[in-house]
Structure 1
């Protein structure tokens, strides 16, 4: 599917992303973030604390991150453009300078003169890249003068990911997934039951989606938005809100949220009036959950322990297991995940999910219910897990699901009665995170 790289532009960052006075240091930081994201899982977030990034003023730091994210989303297309103009591959440092510059001009619509000028300055300042400054100047001015030419959205997906998704979902769905991967998503908000979604939508220039999620194209620091300090809502993708709705906790029930951090689903469960026990193996990640509980005025018992090692004899009316996974379904918000994930990760995490599912099942009371979910696109982490689990655990059966009542796309319902939410669903509204969700009831 050939097309020009320009298309629907991501909502504009509320930073100085087009000002000519943003200097070389911000572009350098963008390159640092980009390469950190390409080097491994969690690399971009970790790189935010690197000196080249942390030392920048707030607006410049936000600009650097916006550029890096734009480059990640369109990396394949940017490289297609570069490869047509480069007779041989330059050093990585030079390619990084070119990638950062093209992300600005072709995606964020930074004026070409600003992007080219700072790219040349970046090349000049390092002895290793200085011999290539004329090449940098010629390539970028050539793209500006002659246009980028045709590119393919599928090129932004790693080859092995594209092959898997083509085999699993078909050519048409692969093309739709590649398109939704190109643009920055809107921000979704979940709110406490007493808060009117329509009122929140009006306050953030958004819209209320089916199920009660509010979606907004508003940018900037969410802590400054109306209702944040009052604890009315929290940031949570519309698809990520579905599993807790499917669990349907009730006031007075005792509910366990395994692998709970960073806590969006825990907040949903606590808001229902149920008594919630939230587990996670990472004390560091639980700090964010504690902060959100305090801000929203909600409460939960928090335990820092791996779910399969939890020495507690309680059983629960309902258990939610949002299992560790490759997170390939979150590529709209976290484009780096597709570059960081390796084929071997799928099987490795599937083994972890197998153990966690069995541990979760032991916590469910007779007559109780278990919801299993992963934000992964891979069948081994979703459908295959539940097929194998039901064979091992005849006391459980699949419960019926009504997508409309949960705020999920109707087409997400599988023949087995599970949900396979694809990011390309609701494309007209900006898409969703990819999720697999299944509810399993334990026979009384």
Structure 2
């Protein structure tokens, strides 16, 4: 088919490719690539229907058994399918619905995952179209729940191959995020900006690093782009960051550009005692130490505290690590400052964690905002008069940021906001709101000729105890 050939040969930078492989003579043996699609469908169902974290499912040791049984190349393809599906899910579901004569029957969730996985490959990945169709039909035939729908799967997907370009064009009118999230973005940012944020999450996040020493030197060595946050942005590359120059000797660490902002808001830190609450994995802790602070790193999880220590050891940095519940932590004497990068809905990180929009909802935002408010009130008690509290998180929702802080200031007159001066952040002036708080979004930071744009959605503000 001409349409198949067109889809097969269409190349997009950064896409995972898979070559068609001949099957064996045993009709009962799994077809090459079938295990990948089966694993993707199972994991997709767990994420969407059971609200299970994708990172947890893709853990090679403790994650999904079907995924753990795959080889490295097949795991890579599985991840690519899942990430693309979750990024484009509303458009994928709309495409499938338009090709069906009637909606799928109630209870056909397994069939829906098969169609979603196949549609993702046809529409958004550089996988041979005929392989995507054939393997989806094979999946349906091997599942007693779906066997009677095998012909429907074949017909729908073959039509999708033929009409691919028209389907993609029509999909542009469909928001790529769930309705609840689109509505909250629109209320917070306006319709045009909400659309830009939603579209920005379709692109995977680039790799940013924070350098311990001479950033200009490492920008040259790594052909990296200096960013207004002080971070360096790497070019897209195949392989692991652990193989890059400077990693083993601890010259730098991976940290999104937006995440590098909060630790810089204290101003001069030489000799000051700063507690980093919720410290793991340690990027902000490392920043504070590198700026001269004496850091107490507070982390409740023993496993995360161990990971924090490993990361600091690689960077040859030292902190006083306290494996304790944040609410139980009380310093011997009041601190000069506290950094609270609080647990949140993570809606600002959907470029790297596209499952967030499908595993969380408005009720999670409200619950987490309540927890953050309690944490922030406790953090205030840890600092001396005149001491600073930097509060931040990677949520795009004002309930977890601007509204939370304003409510606190209206109720608690023991603290005041210290306005961030936009002029101090050339290139990021638009990220400082009228109240003097940082509000970044994935739609900020334009791309350059060689480096991707965007940054995580982050909120950060500075409070001072009176």
Common fold, TM-score beyond 0.5? yes
Give the superposition deviation at 1:257: 0.4
Q: Which residue of 2 aligns with 1:50?
A: 64
Quick one: distance in 2 between partners of 1:408 and 1:278? 31
Give the superposition deviation at 1:408: 6.7
Name which of structure 1's ranges 415-424 and 200-209 shifts more when overlaid on structure 2: 200-209
Q: Retained in 2: the 8 A contact 1:180–1:427?
A: no
Q: Kindly indicate whether residue 260 of structure 2 is the aligned counterpart of residue 241 of structure 1.
A: yes
Name which of structure 1's ranges 333-342 and 390-399 shifts more when overlaid on structure 2: 390-399
Q: Kindly indicate whether residue 238 of structure 2 is the aligned counterpart of residue 214 of structure 1.
A: no
Please point out which of 257, 279, 302 is paired with 1:260: 279
Q: Retained in 2: the 8 A contact 1:245–1:406?
A: no
Please point out which of 391, 399, 402 is paired with 1:372: 391
Quick one: distance in 2 between partners of 1:134 and 1:368? 68
Give the superposition deviation at 1:55: 1.0
Q: Kindly indicate whether residue 44 of structure 2 is the aligned counterpart of residue 34 of structure 1.
A: yes
Give the superposition deviation at 1:405: 4.3
Q: Kindly indicate whether residue 456 of structure 2 is the aligned counterpart of residue 433 of structure 1.
A: yes
Give the superposition deviation at 1:260: 1.3
Quick one: distance in 2 between partners of 1:402 and 1:275? 26
Give the superposition deviation at 1:297: 0.9
Residue correspondence of structure 1 range 188-203 to structure 2 within 5 A: 188-192=208-212, 194-196=213-215, 198-203=216-221
Greater gyration radius: 2
Q: Kindly indicate whether residue 197 of structure 2 is the aligned counterpart of residue 177 of structure 1.
A: yes
Quick one: distance in 2 between partners of 1:9 and 1:372? 43
Q: Retained in 2: the 8 A contact 1:10–1:185?
A: no
Q: Retained in 2: the 8 A contact 1:120–1:133?
A: yes
Give the superposition deviation at 1:403: 4.3
Q: Which residue of 2 aligns with 1:59?
A: 73
Q: Which residue of 1 aligns with 2:20?
A: 20
Please point out which of 47, 64, 88 is paired with 2:103: 88
Q: Retained in 2: the 8 A contact 1:243–1:373?
A: yes
Q: Retained in 2: the 8 A contact 1:71–1:99?
A: yes
Q: Kindly indicate whether residue 437 of structure 2 is the aligned counterpart of residue 418 of structure 1.
A: yes
Structure 2 residue runs without a partner (length 5+) = 1-9, 22-31
Cα pair distance change 1:220/1:41, threshold 3 Å:
farther
Quick one: distance in 2 between partners of 1:220 and 1:121? 33
Q: Kindly indicate whether residue 370 of structure 2 is the aligned counterpart of residue 351 of structure 1.
A: yes
Give the superposition deviation at 1:368: 1.6
Q: Which residue of 1 aligns with 2:26?
A: none
Please point out which of 66, 74, 88 is paired with 1:74: 88
Name which of structure 1's ranges 211-220 and 79-88 shifts more when overlaid on structure 2: 211-220
Q: Retained in 2: the 8 A contact 1:251–1:272?
A: yes
Q: Retained in 1: the 8 A contact 2:12–2:126?
A: no
Give the superposition deviation at 1:93: 1.5
Quick one: distance in 2 between partners of 1:19 and 1:370? 54
- When the two chains are superposed, the root-mean-square deviation of aligned CA atoms in Å is 2.2
Cα pair distance change 1:344/1:408, threshold 3 Å:
farther
Q: Which residue of 2 aligns with 1:4?
A: none
Quick one: distance in 1 between partners of 2:436 and 2:317? 32
Question: Residue by residue, what CA displacement relative to the aligned partner does 1:173-221 show, whole Å, maximum 9, x if unpaired?
Answer: 11101210212121111121x133x443444443221232111222432
Cα pair distance change 1:426/1:290, threshold 3 Å:
same
Give the superposition deviation at 1:43: 2.2
Give the superposition deviation at 1:388: 2.1
Q: Retained in 1: the 8 A contact 2:258–2:458?
A: yes
Give the superposition deviation at 1:83: 0.4
